[in-house]
Amino acid sequence: MQPVRIAPSILSADFAKLGEEVRAIDAAGADWIHVDVMDNHFVPNLTIGPAVVKALRPHSAKPFDVHLMVSPVDPLIEAFAEAGADILSVHPESGPHLHRTLQRIKALGKRAGVVLNPATPVEVVDHVLDLVDLLLVMSVNPGFGGQKFIDSQLTKIEQLRTRIDASGRAIDLQVDGGIDRVTAPRAIAAGADCLVAGTATFTGGPDAYAGNIAALRGA
């Protein structure tokens, strides 16, 4: 396994001062900046588009980890790549041809991720692992922050860890949803090496961010 990385989700940041918030979590020790893109179609919420990613890009040199909860996803991939995304993660359900979508992300010079919703079976990644740089397990149903961790996803994390190790490739295994000081060590024990945390990172304001991130990393 790789060292545990912390990717604060700006979904829980103060949207009135996103640039300041990104700088604050960067300084507080975030490894990646996680950007949740929602379209109010694939998921029941509406967040940000490529223009916001482009505007935030100068505020941090950390990798921008962009989770595309949109359908159809293919028409937006190039725009987010040009806006400054480093990692683009997509859902198998968000387009007709997952393999082709991953090929497109790689052709743009970006790292490619596949996201598994709570009901999405692990087998969906078996024939695309050669193209994948990241696997993201949703431990809540996507669309909203602040939800409770779904315990059944721990088995999925374990199953994906087995697949990653067998592949011999350096594929990140990320978990997103209900991550806090209690659930973080459980996710790590199951095999996760990257934690997305929104509420657990941004609670308490900028002065608390470093301690929040350190607590998750220490798990």
Report the catalytic residues. Answer: 36, 176
Which is nearest to 112 in space by CA: 132, 135, 82? 132
CA 218 to chain CA centroid, nearest Å: 20
| CA–CA gap between residue 69 and residue 28 (Å, rounded) | 27
Which is nearest to 4 in space by CA: 179, 203, 199? 179
Q: Between the CA of residue 46 and those of 36, 50, 68, 144, what are the distances in Å?
A: 10, 13, 12, 10
Residues whose CB is less than 8 angstroms from the CB of residue 73 and which lie 6 or more positions away in sequence, other chains included: 90, 91, 94, 95, 101
| 63 close to 32: Cβ distance less than 8 angstroms | yes
Phi, psi of 137 (to 5 degrees): -95, 120
Phi, psi of 117 (to 5 degrees): -65, 165
